[in-house]
Amino acid sequence: MEDGESLFLQRQVFPGTALVGLPDVIGAAESAGFEILDVENIRPSYALTCRAWVERLQKNAGACRKLVDEETYRTWLLYLAGSAVNFEDGYLDVHQIVLARRDSRSRPLTRENWEIPRSRSASKLGFATATGSEFVGGPQRRVANNRPSPRQSA
């Protein structure tokens, strides 16, 4: 059974999507011929990103409301503010994964020597980065590690 927060996300914020856990992303990547070079939990910085988006959304509320109805504006404001709190408190995680094709022989041996290109040419070097949305199921899917929030465990 799904909790209220998940239903809110699936119905109001990202219709037709599902949250994908880190083990599923890693398994799919390996099945597709990639090897995992690095996994980083970017939760703390993503909390700051969500906070910045809330501030920008509020700062540009008038312009936003000209583009979408009040319900949509308030849904996204609630989603971003709630996400910021859940990332800050450790109830949500988001991971960046560095992948390489298994047949890639041109990559450096240590992280200190990695210079990962941020363009489509990265694939020529055998590198790929993913946060889930870029790998599993296309842009409709996100990676999150849901843990019960205090609201859910009460």
pLDDT tens, position by position, 19-46: 788 999 999 999 999 988 889 999 999 9
Nearest-angstrom CA–CA distance, 7 and 67: 25
Do residues 48 and 36 both lie within one domain? no
Do residues 38 and 71 both lie within one domain? no
Residue 3 placed within a domain: no
pLDDT tens, position by position, 72-93: 999 999 999 999 999 999 988 8
Residue with the bigger pLDDT between 83 and 129: it is 83
pLDDT of 113: 67
pLDDT over 70 percentage in the chain: 70
Strand ordering across the sheet containing 127-130:
34-41, 95-101, 127-130
pLDDT tens, position by position, 46-77: 999 999 999 999 999 999 999 999 999 999 99
Residue with the bigger pLDDT between 115 and 37: it is 37
Residue 79 placed within a domain: yes
pLDDT of 9: 78
Taking alpha carbons only, the member of 54, 51, 150, 37 closest to residue 102 is: 37
Do residues 83 and 52 both lie within one domain? yes
According to DSSP, residue 123 is labeled: G
AA letter at 86: N
Radius of gyration of the chain measured on its C-alpha atoms: 18
Which residue range is the domain that position 142 belongs to? 18-42+96-148
Do residues 112 and 48 both lie within one domain? no
pLDDT band at 104 (very low <50, low <70, confident <90, very high): confident
pLDDT of 23: 94
Do residues 116 and 135 both lie within one domain? yes
pLDDT of 137: 31
